Amino acid sequence: MKQTVIKIFRNIFPFLTVVFLWRLSISFWNPGGILALIPIFYCTFIRPVPWFIPFGLLFCFLIDYNLGALCYWTSIYLLCYALNGFQSFIDFTHRDFNSIDMFMLYIGIGLVIFEFTHLNWTTFARMIWIFIWMTVLYLPITRLIRGVQHDR
């Protein structure tokens, strides 16, 4: 019984992490729950979790809703999922540091495009801050997910 509960917890932990980070929406530290993109990216592209793609799509839409963006992160997520078919050329799953460089590219391109739609110095500074903050938190969050799912 105990092993079954532990196995269920390991299976649902990535989903719970996304929900927790999305609900922990604070305007300066986590605007619109954008930190939820970390486990969404990791569990979709780097260490795929079964049934995570529709869940990630739903939460990208919910992040867009909180940010007031019309399907912005949802489109970027779907675009990256489509580009993931070229993974035979670049293997994301076996890169150092849980592929933080690919995550930085994913977030960086998304934030730069978003910056051009709202061009001013305040938005630019905020996008730089969000990029740095998400990059710093990427490794601890992904290592936590990987540590909980150590048997996979």
Render each residue's pLDDT in the chain as its tens digit; 152 residues.
Answer: 888 999 999 999 999 999 999 999 888 899 999 999 999 999 999 889 999 999 999 999 999 999 888 889 999 999 988 887 776 666 667 777 888 988 999 999 988 888 887 788 888 899 999 999 999 999 999 999 999 987 55
Rounded to whole angstroms, the Cα distance separating 42 from 13 reads 13
Rounded to whole angstroms, the Cα distance separating 71 from 74 reads 5
Rounded to whole angstroms, the Cα distance separating 57 from 63 reads 10
pTM of the predicted model as reported, rounded to 2 decimal places: 0.91
Residue 133 CB: number of other CB atoms within 10 A?
Answer: 16
